[in-house]
A and B are shown apart, each in its own frame.
Chain A
Amino acid sequence: MPQLDAGKGVDTGQWHVVVHAATLSARRPDGRPAARGKANLAIELELTNRTRSSSNDFATLLRIALPAIAAKTPPTSQLLLRDNSVLSSLHPKMSERIALAWDIPLATPIPDPLPVVVMSKIHKQRDNLSGGAGWFDPKPMAEVRLHVTTPDAPATLP
C-alpha cells in the first residue's frame, strides 16, 4: 500500500485528506474525559469536501491498525477543532481541521509508529440497489504512520 507522510495530502475522490497527528490521552479532544477504564486515541486531520454537496460521510474514512478498534467501528467522537463542537457535516470546498477519536481500553498496546489507513470510495452514477448515485465500496488507499503523543504521560526526569 502506498505510504504517505504525516502532513501530506491525498485525494480520495470524495475528500482531500491530510492526516496530521495522533494523540493518546485520558481526555477527548474537546476536554471531556474518556469512558471509564478507557483512554482516547484521537487522530487529527484536515478534510476538504470535494463533492457537490454537504456530507458527513467521514466516519469510516480512517482505519486504525489496532485490534481494539474493529474495522468498521465509527469514532466515539467526531469534532470540529475550530471550536471543539460536534461535527455534523462538512461543506464543499471548505477545509476544516477535525479530530476522529476512539475510546480504547487502557491496556491497549500502541505501536510506534501507529499505522493509520486512509480509505477511499468510488462514485457510482447508478448503485446496484436503487439505481441512485452515491459513494460506495470503501478500499484502503494509503497508509500514514504516526508517532502517538501522550500529553498526560508524566515528564521523564533527565
Chain B
Amino acid sequence: MSTPRRFRWSALLASAATLALLLAMRESMPNYNARMAPIVERGAPGEYVHGRRFAARVTAVETARMLRFAHSGTPDSVEQRDSSGVWLIVQASAMAVQEPTLIGSAAILTRDGRRYEQSGRLYNAPATLAARELQAGVASAGVLIFELPVDALAGAWLALAANRIDPLDSELQIDLALAAPPLPREFYDLVRP
C-alpha cells in the first residue's frame, strides 16, 4: 500500500520564486526598440560629428514664421507656408564616409523627450540636404527644415541617421545650442536665402 504524497511547501515556494524571477526578467529586459536603438554619436554645433556612413556639421540655425519656396524646376511657382508653431531651419553640411549615402532620417529631439521629424509640407520644393546623395569625402551643404512649437525650441538637438528603419547603425545627435532660441523672423526665403 502506497503512502499518500505529502504537500511540500518547499516545492510551492520554489515555483513561486521561479515565476517571480521570470516575471522580473521579462519586465526588466529592454524592449525591441531599446535593444535595436541606434548607436548615438553626440557633438556640438560647428564641429563635424562622425557616424559609420556619414559625417555632418551644423553651421547655422534660424527660425521663421513663414517659409517661401519655389517648385523644383519651375522657379516662378513660388509658394509660402505658415505654421501653427515655428519653422526651424538648420543649415548643415555633410559628407559620406566610404560610399555614397543619403541622410534618410532627420529629426529634432526636444528637451521634453519628443521627436519632430523633418517637415513633409514642402512638396516639390528643391531638395533639402536630407534628399541629396552624399559622396565620400565631398562636403555637401544644404538646409534641413522642421516645424515645432515655439516652446519646444530651447534645448533642441538635431538627430541624423542614414536610415530610419535600419537599427543598430549610427545616429548623429548635434546640440543646436538653442538655450535662448533666436526670435523668429517673419520669412525664410528658400528661393533666395
Contact across chains for A86 and B123 when beta carbons are under 8 A apart: yes
B121 touches A80 (CB 8 A): yes
A12 on the B face (CB < 8 A):
no
Contact residues in B for A89 (Cβ distance below 8 Å): 117, 120
- We find that the number of chain B residues with CB closer than 8 angstroms to chain A is 23
The answer to whether A83 has its CB under 8 Å from any CB of chain B is yes
Contact, CB under 8 Å: A94 / B115 = no
Main SS at interface, chain A: loop
Contact: A91 with B33, CB < 8 Å?
A: no
Flag whether A8 is at the interface (Cβ < 8 A): no
Given known pairs A85-B123, A93-B152, A95-B84, the reply for A133 and B31 (CB within 8 Å) is yes
Check A52 against B31 for contact (C-beta < 8 Å): no
Q: Using Cβ atoms and an 8 Å threshold, which residues of chain B touch A83? A: 79, 81-82, 121
Q: Is B117 in contact with A54, judged by CB distance below 8 angstroms? A: yes
Check if A53 sits within 8 Å of B121, measured CB to CB: no
A96 touches B115 (CB 8 A): no
Most buried by B among A82, A127, A131: A131
The reply to whether A133 and B116 form a contact with Cβ atoms under 8 Å apart is no
- Given A80-B121, A88-B120, check contact A52 B114 (CB 8 Å): yes
Instruction: Give Cα distance in the complex from A94 to B121, angstroms.
Output: 14
Inter-chain CA distance A51–B63, complex, in Å, is 24
Contact in complex: A131, B147 (CB < 8 Å): no
Is there a chain A Cβ closer than 8 Å to B75's Cβ? no
CB neighbours (8 Å) of A95 from chain B are 84
CB pair B115–A53 under 8 Å, yes or no, is yes
A54 with B121: CB separation less than 8 A:
no
Contacts of B148 on A, CB cut-off 8 Å?
91, 94
Q: Is the CB of B114 within 8 A of A53?
A: yes
Please report the C-alpha to C-alpha distance between residue A75 and residue B123 in the assembled complex, in whole angstroms.
Answer: 19
- Could you show 18 A-B contacts with beta carbons less than 8 Å apart? A52-B113, A53-B114, A80-B121, A85-B81, A85-B123, A89-B120, A91-B85, A91-B117, A91-B147, A91-B148, A94-B84, A94-B85, A127-B32, A130-B32, A132-B31, A132-B36, A133-B31, A133-B32
* 8 further A-B pairs in the complex, CB-CB below 8 A; given A53-B107, A88-B121, A132-B32: A85-B123, A91-B148, A93-B114, A93-B149, A93-B152, A126-B31, A126-B32, A132-B33
